[in-house]
Amino acid sequence: MNWQAMKSIYVFEMVRTFRTLWQSVVSPVISTSLYFVVFGAAIGSRIDEVEGVTYGAFIVPGLIMLTVLVQSISNASFGIYFPKFIGTIYELLSAPVNILEIVAGYVGAAATKSFAIGLIILGTAYLFVPLDIQHPFLMLGFLMLTCLSFSLLGFIIGIWAGSFEQLQIIPLLVITPLVFLGGSFYSVSMLPPFWQTVTMFNPVLYLISGFRWAFFGTADVPVALSLLAIAAFTVICIGVIWLIFRTGWRIKN
């Protein structure tokens, strides 16, 4: 293993994060705070408890997921797309590194950044609502797995993208709607039966449900199913990345 290369990629990407600290951390915190103000305080104060949890607290896992999913994809996709865009990918392709080392460096950095943002948002949530996390370690584990798997997806998107606009397409047009419709702001049990069935086809539901279970002990789907879904998603992403490097798709001439 070329540990030195992995470390170099990881550190290089993390340094970029600190260089753009404002966009990286402050922006998601501000936007999440706004969600708390609007949904938690303004609208939430008029809503009764949902499944035994105050509405302001109920939306915390969904809000963290919303930011973490978008950030994971954005960070990882930008991390690999930018070298492609400016041409520095030549260095990566000519270095004595294998797929695992490249992915570990880029995805590791993207996941670390998203994980940190998730924790910052959690800290911000404490400023607005009282929270009593029932399974704190599982919550952290769930958050970490989510950051990792969606950073893998972001890495794939970064390789696929041919322009900066394409980088934004998946987070904006796919992930954000799926998070909103995956029970971020409501329990699936609040929907009519038909829409409950439709929602079951939304993969993000399983993430939010599992994450919410770690917070409050209640879930829309069994927690084992949530873990299985995220594990399957991670394996699929790893498989696709392996295939990309094997064929050189979109990265080699």
Partner 1 sequence: MSVMLSVRDLSKTYGSGHEALKSVSLDIEEGEIIALLGPNGAGKTTLISTICGITTPSGGSVTVGGHDIITDYRPARRLIGLVPQEVSLEPFEKVINTVSFSRGLFGKPRDDAHIERTLRQLSLWDKRNAQIKELSGGMKRRVLIAKALSHEPRILFLDEPTAGVDVELRKGMWETVSGLKADGVTIILTTHYIEEAEAIADRVGIISKGQILLVEEKSALMKRMGKKTMRIDLQSPISALPEALGDRGLEIEDDGHSLLYTYDTAATRTGITTLLQALSDAGITLRDIHTNQNSLEDIFVELVKDGA
Read off the tokens for 242: 């392996």
103 versus 122: smaller Cβ distance to partner 1 = 103
Give me the residues that bind partner 1 (CB under 8 A), please.
Answer: 2, 4-5, 7-9, 11-12, 15, 19, 82, 86-88, 90-97, 248, 252-253
The number of beta carbons lying within 10 Å of the beta carbon of residue 252 is: 10
**Smaller CB separation from partner 1, 82 or 160:** 82
Query: Residue 18 CB, nearest distance to partner 1 (Å)?
Result: 12
Separation of alpha carbons 185 and 171, rounded Å: 18
Are 210 and 142 contacting, i.e. CB atoms less than 8 angstroms apart? yes
CA distance 175 to 152: 14
Cβ proximity to partner 1: between 52 and 96 the closer is 96
- Region of residue 249 (left: phi > 0; alpha: psi -120 to 50; beta: else): beta
Q: Find the shortest distance in angstroms from Cβ 88 to partner 1.
A: 5
Residue closer to partner 1 (CB basis): 15 or 169: 15
Q: How far apart are CA 16 and CA 139, in angstroms?
A: 28
Concatenating the DSSP letter of every residue in 168-214 gives HHIIIIIIHHHHHTTTSSS-GGGS-HHHHHHHTT-HHHHHHHHHHHH
Closest approach, Cβ 160 to partner 1, in A, equals 17
Query: What is the closest distance, in whole angstroms, from the C-beta atom of residue 2 to partner 1 in the complex?
Result: 5
Task: Count the alpha carbons within 13 Å of 88 in the hemisphere toward its beta carbon.
Answer: 7
Identity of the residue, 93 or 181, whose beta carbon is nearer to partner 1 in the bound complex = 93
Min separation Cβ 113 and partner 1, Å: 17
Nearer to partner 1, 96 or 130 (CB): 96
Name residue, tokens 């873990």: 227
Quick check: helix, strand or coil at residue 53?
strand
For partner 1, give the closer residue by CB, 12 or 195.
12
Smallest separation (angstroms) from partner 1 to the CB of 230: 31
**Smallest distance, Å, CB 132 to partner 1?**
43
Alpha carbon 117 to its chain centroid, in Å, reads 10
Contact status, residue 204 vs residue 175, Cβ threshold 8 Å = yes
